[in-house]
Amino acid sequence: MGTEHSPTALSSPDDPITKMKAMDLPTGLGQSPIDLQQISAGLGQIPAAFYVNILVGDKEYQTARNPARVDGGMTEWQDHIYLLSDLSSMVELRIYASFELGPMLGRGELLQKFSIGVGELLDRCNVSRSICFVPEECEVVTLCPSLEATVELLSPQDTNVIIFCAPVSAESDEERAVAEATDVGHMRRYYKDADESHINNAITQFHRVLDRCPINHPARSAALTNLALSKFISSQVRGAHRDLDVPIFLFKDALDLCPRDHPDHPPTMLKLAITLLSRFNKRGDATDADEANQLLANVLDICLPDSREYTSAELVTPMLAMHTGVNAVGDTSAAVAVSSIRSGNQRSPYSLDQLRRDLEQCNQQDNPRLLDDVISQLRSALSFYGPGQPGWIGWKESLAIALGLCFERQGQKQDLEDVLLFSREMLVWTSRHRTHHRHSLKHLAGVLRRQFRQDGDRKDLEEGIQLSRDVLALTPPGHPDRAISLCNLGIDLSAQFKQSGDRDDLDEAIQLHRDALVLRPPGHPDHSMSLCNLAVDLITRFEQNLLDTQIVP
């Protein structure tokens, strides 16, 4: 509703932007036939909503977040925002894609930004001329081709009945730090140059964000989802289907924080379903297909037919039927499970409890003959079990511990290599049991830490850090193992600082040790150990600061 205005000044002190339209915003959904692999590959950057951020003078405003349209057509906002009356004053508009409909972290993905004078904005409004964008370098098309803003002059009577947007509240230092880390983590850079290091950086950033979002944080589900997505994308890029277990646990944690009436409940179910299908395609376990099938049915049941989630579920469901033999949602009777578990016909003559007592005795005193006997009996006992059978994981873990102790005493590299192999096997066969899987992750991280100290291979340290981060992500605040998880990651990052000199690693290690110390107050059996870890890293940082301030001649 354009109105006449003076060429040098507005006829009222302030004029509002009352309507904005952005054309052809991305949805992440194609119009052509699609298979499960394509759906999995595109899961990473599917926007849930779009919004516009407006800077007017020293004030910042934000429109509502409007859900993404299935057809990617026009998104329209009806928010009222005051402009300055000076025609020469500038307005900056930024169009963002948000990946949450509920409480969000950070700003999301910046699609376009531009500055325009109030006078030019009025001129464009009067002739209905949109602001068009050209593709950035390396882009075939721009993510947002155009935007149209409407500016109206309102009488005092109009302003009494219209609700105007309030300026955005200032963020606290903690909120700003979490938002900035989240924004750094979003991975449009990877899609531009396919550099895997950007994925690794995203995973690191999202781990740090999750650590700063306690259980009662309103956006903890968003932090879990961001981390799960980045790890899912990493597994797809590297073809590492074993790395799908942690994203599935994280998506389930996020879903637990998004009840049925939560706006992010359907998209979280959809992401979990696609991740489960990806694991099913790699491992053939019908349990994954059954669970994904039920999640897709729930999405179709609660979402409107014109919603993005409903359309996505409709795309995935036929592919699920094709891959599993499922005829319809809710019918998985034709799905066939692929199992590598042997059925044991003989009962083991060995007692695991007794061998564990013998192993504890070996740990307390150096008895090579007893240790060799324990290892021999553990190996023999394992012949009665197939991988994944009840009891197998306990025997395997005990053998790994015994071989690790043997390596410490005798220094035979083959023992350490066997421990590493067994630890990886245990990780595969604990993918459905959260506690066992977290314990297997922790065990493997410890083996890699030991191997790094033995050989000095940076790859072992880097893999161990990622595993320690995963352990921490699966050990939320309040968990009894939280302190040791913080401590182990801090130790790994301290070691990495000594290798790379990256101050971020040292700073993070210090914070982790401080957090662990809080959970180990005076009187705790590990209080002195946490004090020592923190003191060593603080001294290291002090010495580094001295080196940094020295004047080089």
Three state DSSP letters for 411-468: CCHHHHHHHHHHHHHHHHCCCCCHHHHHHHHHHHHHHHHHHHHHHCCHHHHHHHHHHH
Q: What is the pLDDT of residue 338?
A: 34
**Mean per-residue pLDDT over the chain, rounded:** 80
Q: What is the pLDDT of residue 388?
A: 72
Written as one string, the DSSP assignment of 96-137 is EEES-SSS-SS--EEEEEEEEEHHHHHHHHHTT-PEE--PPT
Residue ranges covered by each domain of the chain = 17-154, 174-324, 352-493
Q: What is the pLDDT of residue 276?
A: 93
Q: How confident is the model at residue 166 (pLDDT cuts 50, 70, 90)?
A: confident
Give tens-digit pLDDT for 34-59: 333 433 334 455 678 888 888 988 88
Q: How confident is the model at residue 143 (pLDDT cuts 50, 70, 90)?
A: low
8 A C-beta contact, residue 49 and residue 17: no
| 172 CB-near residues (< 8 Å, 6+ apart) | none
Give tens-digit pLDDT for 354-412: 989 999 999 898 888 999 999 999 998 888 887 877 788 888 889 999 999 999 898 88
pTM of the shown model: 0.79
- Architecture per CATH, domain 352-493, reads as Alpha Horseshoe (1.25)
Q: What is the pLDDT of residue 528?
A: 96
CATH topology of domain 17-154: Immunoglobulin-like (2.60.40)
As given in the structure block, the two tokens for residue 271 are: 């992401």
Does the fold of domain 174-324 match that of domain 17-154?
no
Q: What is the pLDDT of residue 464?
A: 95
8 A C-beta contact, residue 398 and residue 443: no
As given in the structure block, the two tokens for residue 82 are: 């005051």
Q: What is the pLDDT of residue 546?
A: 85
Give tens-digit pLDDT for 249-286: 999 999 999 999 999 999 999 999 999 998 988 888 88
Tell me the backbone φ, ψ of residue 52, rounded to 5 degrees: -120, 135
Is pLDDT larger for residue 474 or for residue 102?
474
CATH topology of domain 174-324: 1.25.40
8 A C-beta contact, residue 352 and residue 308: no
As given in the structure block, the two tokens for residue 168 are: 């955005």
Give tens-digit pLDDT for 320-350: 666 555 443 443 333 333 333 344 445 567 7
